[in-house]
Structure 1
Amino acid sequence: MVVVFVLVAIAVLALLGVLHWYVWRRVVRDTTVRGSVARRVGRIVMVALPLLTVATFVGENAGMPFGLVRVIAWPGYLWLAVFLYLLLALAVGELVRPLLRRKAGKTAPQQVKAPEPVTVPAGHAPEPPVEEPEAAEDPSRRLFVSRVVAGTAAAVALGTVGYGAYGTLRGPKVKRVTVPLAKLPRSAHGLRIAVVSDVHLGPVLGRGFAQRVVDTVNATRPDVIAVVGDLVDGNVEDLETSVAPLAGLRARHGAYFVTGNHEYISGAEQWTEHVQELGLKLLANTRVELPGFDLAGVNDLRGEGYDDGPDFARALGDRDRTRAAVLLAHQPAAVHEAVRHGVDLQLSGHTHGGQLWPFNFIAGLANPTLAGLERYEDTQLYVTRGAGAWGPPVRVGAPSDITVIELASRQA
């Protein structure tokens, strides 16, 4: 198993190395003059930024001082997003590069020398004209085209990442969805559940972002708050200050928490204790009875590797099935077990809606639902895109949200 992991890691690093070489060639080498200051600076930047990315990932898991990780995480993570869109833009540029070369050639017409008259002796056939070899492409034209393509690609990448970062850092927007439940009594009609997922507080998103999330949730005046995992990326000691604003979450029937896969990466035991100290109620394979319905929660599937996985029978097995059941489960994949246990509505996150286009296509293949509301037999599944971002604080094509689920009774 270890050997397979090492081989896969080597293959991934080799692929990333080749792709970085391609980007360096198109953006730096092809647009600068050999020996120039611009080329030397470009080479340094193209080496330093990937190294910061690697250092960020390694530092988070190798005990590097958290303050240093926070410093290098910003350029390290942002480079991942810039590199992605730079690579995509350059790939498109390869399609238009030949057209630009031809167009540049037409705008610079060359003077053609007329052939000199040749005297042919009587009785001899004229010799066929000798074709001159085609002149090599003008270096200045090639440099011009390379700069146009690289400059356009850089502008597209930086503009895309800048806009995506602005949308993420300003905080999630509120999305409202009405979900009818057949078993919900009229007395619970209109009850509101604020669904918060994938905040990912860590070296990039900190206390200020957490406060924006809390303010946004409280402004919706929810009856119940459901935090469905991936709250943090890091340990309690480093992030205690960042998560402190969560103590300000307010809802009539309380705020509840279930683990996500990143809690197990960060230390689930310490975090489940700490969130309870902040006032959140832990639903670890258990449930509570709320007015009109049962609210259950299961541990994340990642917990199976820590002997702390989901236990649907414990959370749902002995409940009164005449009551509506709402299940909190971080990963949408839990919906198949939810169907078997007669759950009416499952609330999940995990997917980020793909976070960065075109990864939404990959995330869509890996999850039964990428985002939004879908039905699986008698169970409805709602997946939020999440409030924060993992890695680069950037979202493209998958805006962050806090969803307010309004339960509707068919008896109302």
Structure 2
Amino acid sequence: MAKMTIGVLIVGIYSALTFYLGWGLKQWLEAMKWFHFPVLYWLVLYIISFSVIIGRVHKSLRLFSVIGNYWMFIFEYGLLLCVTAQIVLWLTPLNNIRLVGSVAVMVFLILWIVGSYLAYSPVVRQLNITMDKMDSELSSMRVVVASDFHLGVLSNKKHLQRFVNLSNEAKPDVVFLAGDIVDDDPKWFVQEGMADVMKQLTATYGVYGVLGNHEYYGKKIPAFVEEMKKAGVEILRDETILIDNAFIITGQEDITNKERQQLEALKLNEHLPWLVMNHTPDDLTTPAQAGVNLHMSGHTHRGQLWPNQYITARVFELDYGYKKKGQMHTLVSSGFGFWGPPMRIGSRSELWVVDITFQ
């Protein structure tokens, strides 16, 4: 009963915010003399606002899922600009709805264009670190780290090809895919033939990945792992492997799995560099104390859309970038893809090229 009450409350607040956004847009349309058919206007607005839910009812309603993803961007920035426009109208001498509304719409369109560019034009981040050689025979190693592809309808085969091209240009020794590789369900990965692209990845010691929370949401993990295997990606599920007696790789289950093993139980060798993938950077203290040399995560998207990064920065000890915690090097990527709207503001699609020097 309590859950139902909370659900009704959330839907009520969301519907009220949608009404406020629609009311603000209606004011501007009326000032421009473009507002007609009010019943149709409100009907379409609320259908769009709940399109994320509608799209999950049946696979034939896939278009609504796409619309729902774009709506997330419209909702967030529409509200921000609507509030800003109202403040300008109320607190300044500029009392011209037509002018203020037009400026707000222009800013929104600019954000749409810039956000789309930042999402679909990934960059390569460079990082150089030094770690204890221990008993490894290697003097150096280059790894590529990427996360949060959310491969599906909008983060598509073409976008995956961008990653493969950039990764292969770096000529890595190892490629790490730190979770949320597909957007819930691997069916789009299969239907679009993305395995043919993923197979093009080249790395001296192979390509390894872990599960993220969205693989769990999709509830098709065995199928996902099998598809990744066909694509040349070894998914590590609470597994530790030894590579050429030179270094160790551990892939943890995501924190979504409440039965995942403790990291200490996965430790294999005290005398070789230890590289760990854990999709969600929820706990950096445990791996640092366990002796991990390089810890890699994603999940946060760096908020993806401004000002959400201020929230992720409060939630996680490290929500983006590089940090050295004790003797452990920690890296959190904002992701190569995106979740929801194919836009980024205040973040950018990326992969990391990490050059490791052993001494």
TM-score w.r.t. the length of structure 2 is 0.91
User: 13-22 or 221-230, which moves further after superposition?
Assistant: 13-22
User: In 1, are the aligned partners of 2:18 and 2:49 still within 8 Å (CA)?
Assistant: no
Equivalent runs, 1:120-269 vs 2, <5 Å: 145-170=96-121, 172-183=122-133, 187-242=137-192, 243-244=194-195, 245-266=197-218, 267-269=220-222
Task: Give per-residue Cα distances to partners, 1:73-97, cap 9 Å, x unaligned.
Answer: 3332212212211211222223321
- 2:209 partner SS: strand
CA distance in 2, matches of 1:281, 1:339: 25
Give the Å deviation of 1:190: 3.2
> Are 1:73 and 2:65 an aligned pair?
yes
More deviation, 376-385/186-195: 186-195
Q: Which residue is 2:50 aligned to?
A: 54
Amino acid at match of 2:75: F
- 1:268-283 to 2 correspondences below 5 Å: 268-283=221-236
Deviations 1:246-279 (A, max 9, x none): 1221111100011000011112222122211211
CA apart distance, 1:385: 0.7
CA gap of 1:45–1:214, structure 2 versus 1, over 3 A, is farther
Supply the distance in 2 between the matched residues of 1:272 and 1:284 (Cα, whole angstroms): 10
CA distance in 1 between counterparts of 2:238 and 2:136 reads 28
Q: Does 1:295 align with 2:249?
A: yes
Which residue does 1:402 correspond to in 2?
351
CA contact (8 A) 2:208 2:235 kept: yes
The structure-2 alpha-carbon separation of the partners of 1:46 and 1:373, relative to structure 1 and needing over 3 Å to count, comes to farther
Aligned equivalents of 2:139, 2:334: Cα separation in 1: 25
Q: Counterpart of 1:39 in 2: which secondary structure?
A: coil
Q: Alignment partner for residue 293 of structure 2, among 341, 344, 347?
A: 344
Instruction: Give distance in 1, aligned partners of 2:5 and 2:116.
Output: 34
Q: Which runs of 5+ in 1 are unaligned?
A: 104-141
State the secondary structure of the residue aligned to 1:302: coil
Distance, in Å, in 2 between the alignment partners of 1:301 and 1:232 is: 17
The separation in 2 between residues aligned to 1:207 and 1:373, in whole angstroms, is 29
SS in 2 for 1:402: strand
Instruction: State how far apart, in whole Å, the 2-side matches of 1:391 and 1:86 are.
Output: 16
Map residues 355-374 of structure 1 onto 2, 5 A cutoff. 355-374=304-323
**What amino acid maps onto 1:153 in structure 2?**
A
Q: Which has the larger radius of gyration?
A: 1
1:326 matched to 2:275? The reply is yes
Q: How does 1:34-45 map to 2 (within 5 A)?
A: 38-40=34-36, 44-45=40-41
Shift of 1:19: 1.5
User: Which structure is richer in relative contact order (CA contacts within 8 A, separation 6 or more)?
Assistant: 2
Letter aligned with residue 250 of structure 1: T
Indicate the residue corresponding to 1:18 in structure 2: 16
Say which SS state the counterpart of residue 192 (structure 1) adopts: strand
> What is the identity, as a one-letter code, of the residue corresponding to 2:59?
M
Total equivalences in the alignment: 355
Contact 2:135-2:271 at 8 Å conserved across structures: no
Cα deviation digits, residues 299-334 of structure 1 (max 9, x gap) = 111122xx4x24423421xx2212221101101114
326 and 88 in structure 1: CA distance in 2 versus 1, 3 angstrom threshold:
same
**Residues 151 and 188 in structure 2, CA contact (< 8 A), matched pair in contact too:** no
Q: Which residue of 2 aligns with 1:120?
A: none
Q: How is 1:307-322 mapped onto 2 (pairs within 5 angstroms)?
A: 307=259, 309-316=260-267, 319-322=268-271
Query: RMSD of the TM alignment (CA)?
Result: 2.3
TM-score computed with the length of structure 1 as normaliser? 0.80
Asked if 1:378 corresponds to 2:327, the answer is: yes
For 1:14 and 1:195, how far apart are their aligned partners in 2? 41
Q: Distance in 2 between matches of 1:50 and 1:369?
A: 37
**Hey, what's the Cα distance between the residues in 2 that align with 1:368 and 1:269?**
32
**Distance (Å, rounded) in 2 between the aligned partners of 1:50 and 1:247:** 42
In structure 2, the residue matched to 1:89 is 81
Q: 2:27–2:97: 8 Å Cα contact kept in structure 1?
A: no
Q: Which residue number in structure 1 is paired with residue 237 of structure 2?
A: 284
Q: Return 5+ residue gaps in structure 2 as ranges.
A: none
Q: Is the Cα–Cα contact under 8 Å of residues 297 and 315 in structure 1 kept in the other structure? A: no
- Structure 1 330/4 Cα, relative in aligned 2: closer, same or farther at 3 Å? farther
Q: Between the two proteins, what is the percent identity of the paired residues?
A: 25
Aligned partners of 2:44, 2:346: CA distance in 1, in Å? 29
